[in-house]
Every structure is written in structure tokens, then in C-alpha cells.
Chain A
Amino acid sequence: MEYVIIGFLWLSILLYLVLGGADFGAGIIELFTSKAHRYRTRKTAYEAIGPIWEANHMWLIIAVVILFVGFPVIYSTMSIYLHIPLVAMLLGITARGTAFVFRNYDAVIDNMQRVYNRIFLLSSFITPLFLGMIAGSVISGRIDPSETDFTSAYIWPWLNWFSLTIGLFTVGLCGFLASVYLIGEAKPGDDRNSFIRKAKQWNVVAVVCGALVFIASLTENIPLMSWVFGNPFGATAVIAASFSLVVLWILVKRGKTVVPRVLAGFQASMILLAVSYVHFPNFVILKNGEHLSLFEHQAPEATMTALAWALIIGSLFILPSLFYLYYSFQKDRHEGSFVEH
């Protein structure tokens, strides 16, 4: 049963990274778009994520629930030592969610829109940054439960070059995912070409940030190179991701829009897979080479069984209706009858 639960946990994190990431990315792209083009960018992004954005945070909540029900020690350790970045990420989520609603549902359109926008764009950047930093801290082996000094216990585990570069890489990845997704949402012609340009730029940003992560891992003495390339599995994942990136650009050139999205999602999942595979079954790496393993720190069997069934039954309800939602609105928009509410 624990494999079912770990599978769901991994999937929730991946879906949050890909779907939530594309959602954050829409805000990030807009943040780095010149003022003149912002309005067009926003309009395209909104039509794409409007009905669906609410559902994306659920993946994060499901991951959190799986952690505290199934792996309570891991959850409480992260909660204690990564308190500050978790709060920062939460503030980002809150600010972003509310600003989105406000800019959509304010009955009066006036200067307040600029305030909502600023909050939305800034929090779109901050949330994935801290999400990445948390992920970086979890695998960097800086968390030390025996530490009593405030800064060493609660600051340095997450405030270091390695975590920071992973945070930036996550931001770059979100921008890339969103721009690839939006290529298909934009109308063919100028609009679409501008998104293709954006996707290229974000692709470069993501690769540069990825290189920074490797540089940071050298300065922080984290054996990232050997983690990724030291085993056939990780190396294969990276090569597959790189190869699919080439295919993606060939297809974009030929005017395809759907398959590139799948490929961009595939690249994100390969990155996550390479990193999680090398550490499996360890979820958190502590200082002094200790680990919090998903096998050793799981809840008692009765809980795991109940949780697994809850997840299986839940997904039977959720996945079909979620697909139907995506399908309905895709179909609707491509028939041209979609109107912003």
C-alpha cells in the first residue's frame, strides 16, 4: 500500500509543478513582458487558465495531506526547520489567489486593477521561488535537528546558494511551461509568434538557471553531478529530456501546438524523476548524512491502508471530472464560443 501512496505523493507534486507551474508561469511571463504588450499577454493567459486555475492548488493540498497523514515525522520536521520559507510560499499563494479573484470579480473597473495586478505578478514570482527553495533545502542536507542556534537551525537550511538557484530554476521552468502552453492558446499570426519568442527566451532562462544550480552545488559541496549522472537511470532521464526538447522545437516550427505541451510537461517530470529516483526512498536529507525515509517513517499500517483507499476512490471521482472540465473548455474555445464571463 505504501507504494500506492508514494505514487500519489509523487504524482501530486509533479502535477502541482506542471499545472500549478504553468499557472504561476502565466503571471511570471506577464511580469517580464514590456508594459506595451502586457494587456495582450494577460488576455491570452486568462482565457487559458480562467476556469481551471482553482483546481491547481488542490495538488499541493493533497501532497501536504499525504505527508501529514502518511509520513507525519517528515511533515513535522519540514514544518519546524523550513518554517520561514513555507510561510513565504503561503503568503505568495494567498496573495496570488486573492489578487486573481479580485481582478476578475471586481464589479468596478478602475485604478484598483493596477494594485491587484502588481500583487498578482509579484506573488506569481515569489511562490514558485520559495517552492523551489523548499525543494532544494529538502535535498541539500542542511537541516540539522540537533542544532540549537536560531540562524543555523532555521535560516541556513534554506538560505544558501543551492536552494536559491533551485528556486530560480523553478521560476524559469514555470515561465517555460506557461509560454509553451500559451503558444496553442494564442491566435495564429503575430500573437502566436510572440509567444513562440517568449518560449525561446524562457527556455534559455531555464537552461541558464539549471547551469547555475550545478555551479551552486559545486560551491556548496553537494554531489549533484554524481546524483544526476552517476546512475544510468538519472542519465537516461536527462538525455530523454534534452532529446524531447529538440523535438519540441521542431514541432513548434511546424506549427504544432498540442504535442509540445506534452513534451514540456515530460521534461519537468524527467527532472523531478531524476532527482527523486536517486534519493528514493529518502525524502528529506539531514545534516551528517542522516535521512528521513518514506519507508522508515510511515504511519502505522491501518492508516496507510485507509489513506490509500481514500486516494484511490478520490481519484476515481476527481480525474474523470477534471478531464471533462479541461475537455469542455478546450472544445468550447476552439469552437470560438468561449467568452470571458
Chain B
Amino acid sequence: MDNFLAARSQMALSLGFHIIYACIGMVMPFFMAVAHYRWLKTKDVAHKNIAKAWSKGVAIFFAIGAVSGTMLSFELGLLWPNFMKHAGPIFGMPFSLEGTAFFIEAIALGFFLYGWERLNPYFHWFTGVVVGVSGLASGILVVSANSWMNSPAGFDYVNGQYLNIDPMKAMFNEAWFSEALHMTIAAFASTGFAVAGVHALMIVRKQNVHFHQQAFKIAAGFAAVAALLQPLAGDIAAKSVAKRQPAKLAAMEAYFHTQPYSPLVLGGIPDVKTKEVNYGLEVPGLLSFLVYDDFKTPVKALDQIPVENQPPIAITHYSFQVMVGLGMFMMLVAVLYLVAIWFKKHWIYSNWLLKLFIIAVPTGFIAVEAGWMVTEIGRQPWIIQGVMRTKDAVTPMPGIAWSFYLFTGIYFTLSIAVIFLLYRQIRMVPELYDKPAEDLNLSHS
């Protein structure tokens, strides 16, 4: 494994794990706040217990998201020092603001976790909302930094010099809104389905049914709304990619030959040698329609992009197909759930619908990973689109492969440990959370 590949793998691994922790840490506070609000309004103690149980999840994921995020802030320099040397001053603005947002999140979480029965109930609820809002702000800011790499702005690149830097322009580049929107909705959908699925499993197993039913409803509601909004956000994002990164779009769609009535390929195996897609289903004109809102205008294909500026095609295409396919599946589950809520009340806790939700547990996260693979691999060979190549950014230090093996070991251990911890939390619901209010005693440490 050469240094460059090792550095890329380590970065992919670190981001791949961090995005899952970050999504959960970002979205669960909102679920928690809804349950908490219902407890304050209805005095149904199940909701209070749900809020408490979820707040444990928030604390666990916040801490792990925080350490994996700290690692990343160092890894940017450890693996890509040359990139940071030039890019740091340009796209650093969102990072400086993110520091503040994250700090507020940490403080608010301190208040929330230790504030039960100690703070004014509504102020306490409010601190929980602050955790969610500041977490969301952190996520949007970091995605904005990534969008700058896809859509460089706020500087002039003259003879290898980065001049006339404008950090605000860099932050609000053309891609930031579409990327941030798409990612935020993805976070809600993926976390929503994961949480709803876990509670669905417990309902199917007939344990603490009332507790899990109430929890399921909150998470599934968020998941359904997000899954239905996502295609719209995805469409905005794809149009934006087509405009700024034609190579990425062409690789996503495995689209080799520029032509009017540009076809959209569903599935298929791209063959880079013959420049054909085998076994795929072509829908003529659909790609043109998605990009330009008419069926005729030709979309720029890979034949207009020099080979040395093309991303890896097959993996980008597969990742994109996986993301869209899973998105469709989640939409279907969302539609069924909404039908159940509005028209067929007896469906809600029927076994087949709950089982669909159980199947959907990993789908959101797989889609999130696939989506990040599309955006990051689809930008190759560039680290800053059209300005700096990834291979020119890598650290001169040899032996990064060892570092990659080390980090692989750490992240896998960490993930197994987290799953183990969550499993134990869920198993202990009857003892810790789903009890009458007066003898609810959480001091077990």
C-alpha cells in the first residue's frame, strides 16, 4: 500500500465513522426534545423515560462524535499538510464558527444531562433544544467547508498563488446550500430510521410495548418526513453538481458520450475500456430533463473531460446507484407509514410494517456513506476542484500505511464497543427507564 493510497484510505475511514456518530449526535437531541416536550405537556411518564433513555444515547454519541471530530481536525494536517497550508486561511471561517457552535453544544449538554429535577422544567427543555440546534449548526458549517472543496470561491488563483482571499465568499460558495440541505435531511432520515427500527424490534418482541411504541412514533415521524423531502434536496444538489462539476455528474451517471436527449442509466456495469455501460437500463432524455428541465439539451459527458481529470467511474456510479436505490426504499416505507397514520390506523403496529422498519435500520447510514463516496471520490483527482490535486497535498512522511492499520483497528474497536454499549442500554430499558415515576432511580454509577 503506497503512502498516497494509505492517506486517502485513512481519511475515508475517519470520515466514514465520524459521519455516523455525527449524524446521530446531531439529530437525536431533537427526538429527545420532542419526547421531553410531550412529557411536560401530557405528564405521560413514558415520554419522560424516553427522553431520559435517548439522552443517554445523545451523550454517548456526542462524546464519540467529539473525539472522532477532534481526530479529524488534526488529520487534515497530519495527512494533507500541503492542502491545509494553502486552504486553511481560505476555508477556515466555518471551522472557527463551528468551534463556537460545538462549545455551546457541550455546555448545553452539560446542563441537560445534569438538569433533571434541578433546573426550571422549561429552561431544562430549552437546553436540550440548544444541544440540537448547535449540533445542527456545527454540521452545516463543516459541510460548508467541504462544499468549498467542490466549489472553490473567495480567492484568485494566479501562478500557483492564492490571492485576494475573502473568507465569507469562500464559506457561502455556490455549493454550500445544496450540500448542507441534502446532508441535514440525510442525517434526519438515517438516524430516524435507525432509531425507529430499534424500537420496532422491541415492539415485535413484545417488551415494554407502550414505551417503545411512543418512542417509535416520534422517530418514525421524523424519518418519514425526511425521506420524502430528500429527493427534492437531491435534485437541487445534482443540478448544482452538473453546473460546477460535470466530471462528477458524468461519473455518477456513468455517462460516456455527449449527446442530445441525454439518457439516464439505471444500474449497469460501466466498462471504462469500451466506454459502454453493460446490463444497464437506459431512459433517453431523462438526464437532460433532470439537469436542464428539458429533454433535449445535451449534458456534458466524460468524452469532453481529459482522462487525467476524470474520477474513478465505476465506484462513483455504484455508490450513486446504491444511494438512490436506498433513498427510494426509504421513501416507500415513509409513504406506507404516513398512510398508516392517516388512513389505516391498524397498520401502525402491524408486524409487517414494523419489520419493514427493522430492515430499514442500516439503510439510511449506508446511503449516507454512499453519498459521501460519490461526493469525495467524484471530486478526484482534485482535492480543491480544478485548483489542487490530491496527490500534491499528501504528507511527505513515509509509512502512512502503518498509521492506516492502526486507525482501522481503533475505529473498529470503538464501533464494536459502541454497539455493545447501546445493546446494554436497550436491554436495560425495563430496569432503568420504563418504570413508574416515583421509583425511577438512575443513580447506578
Residues of A within 8 A of B (CB): 46, 50-52, 54-55, 57-58, 60-62, 64-66, 68-70, 72-73, 75-80, 83, 86-87, 90-91, 93-94, 97-98, 100-109, 150, 153-154, 299-300, 302-303, 306-307, 310-311, 313-314, 317-318, 321-322, 325, 328-329, 332, 337, 339-341
Contact across chains for B165 and A65 when beta carbons are under 8 A apart: no
Contacts A55-B110, A75-B77, A98-B64 known; A105 to B167 CB distance under 8 Å?
Answer: no
* CB of B275 closer than 8 Å to a CB of A: no
In the complex formed, the residue of B with least CB distance to A74 is B85
How many angstroms between the C-alpha atoms of A310 and B116 in the bound complex? 33
Contact across chains for A72 and B96 when beta carbons are under 8 A apart: no
Q: How far is the CB of B22 from chain A (nearest CB, A)?
A: 14
How many angstroms between the C-alpha atoms of A52 and B63 in the bound complex? 12
In the complex formed, the residue of B with least CB distance to A43 is B445
Q: Give the chain A neighbours of B103 by CB distance below 8 A.
A: 55, 58, 62, 314, 318, 322
Q: Give the chain B neighbours of A79 by CB distance below 8 A.
A: 74, 77-78, 81, 84, 395
In the complex formed, the residue of B with least CB distance to A53 is B110
> Per a CB cutoff under 8 Å, which of A54, A106, A153, A303 touches B109?
A54
A-B CB contact pairs (8 Å), 7 listed = A51-B110, A54-B110, A66-B96, A90-B71, A109-B445, A306-B96, A317-B104
In the complex formed, the residue of B with least CB distance to A313 is B100
Q: How far is the CB of A84 from chain B (nearest CB, A)?
A: 9
* CB of B114 closer than 8 Å to a CB of A: yes
Contact across chains for A57 and B88 when beta carbons are under 8 A apart: no
Report the number of A-B residue pairs with Cβ-Cβ less than 8 Å.
213
B68, B86, B95, B168 — which one has the most chain A CB atoms within 10 A of its CB?
A: B95
* CB of B401 closer than 8 Å to a CB of A: no
Contact across chains for B96 and A98 when beta carbons are under 8 A apart: no
B96, B104, B116 — which one has the most chain A CB atoms within 10 A of its CB?
A: B96
Contact across chains for B113 and A300 when beta carbons are under 8 A apart: no
Contact across chains for B88 and A69 when beta carbons are under 8 A apart: yes
Q: Is the interface of B mostly helix, strand, loop or mixed?
A: helix
How many angstroms between the C-alpha atoms of A328 and B70 in the bound complex? 27
Q: How far is the CB of B48 from chain A (nearest CB, A)?
A: 15
Contact across chains for A104 and B445 when beta carbons are under 8 A apart: yes
B66, B69, B88, B113 — which one has the most chain A CB atoms within 10 A of its CB?
A: B88
* CB of B232 closer than 8 Å to a CB of A: no
Contact across chains for B99 and A97 when beta carbons are under 8 A apart: no
Contact across chains for B167 and A76 when beta carbons are under 8 A apart: no
Q: Give the chain B neighbours of A66 by CB distance below 8 A.
A: 96
How many angstroms between the C-alpha atoms of A341 and B441 in the bound complex? 9
Contact across chains for A64 and B73 when beta carbons are under 8 A apart: yes
Contact across chains for A52 and B74 when beta carbons are under 8 A apart: no
Contact across chains for B107 and A105 when beta carbons are under 8 A apart: no
A66, A75, A302 — which one has the most chain B CB atoms within 10 A of its CB?
A: A302
A52, A75, A90, A91 — which one has the most chain B CB atoms within 10 A of its CB?
A: A90
Q: Give the chain A neighbours of B63 by CB distance below 8 A.
A: 54, 97-98, 100-101
Contacts A300-B165, A310-B93, A337-B118 known; A105 to B421 CB distance under 8 Å?
Answer: yes
Q: Give the chain A neighbours of B102 by CB distance below 8 A.
A: 58, 61
Contact across chains for B107 and A55 when beta carbons are under 8 A apart: yes
* CB of B181 closer than 8 Å to a CB of A: no
Q: How far is the CB of A123 from chain B (nearest CB, A)?
A: 11
How many angstroms between the C-alpha atoms of A337 and B117 in the bound complex? 10
How many angstroms between the C-alpha atoms of A321 and B397 in the bound complex? 42
Q: Give the chain A neighbours of B260 by CB distance below 8 A.
A: none
Interface residues of B in 223-282 (CB under 8 A from A): none
* CB of B121 closer than 8 Å to a CB of A: no
How many angstroms between the C-alpha atoms of A322 and B63 in the bound complex? 18
Contact across chains for B89 and A300 when beta carbons are under 8 A apart: yes
Contact across chains for B118 and A69 when beta carbons are under 8 A apart: no
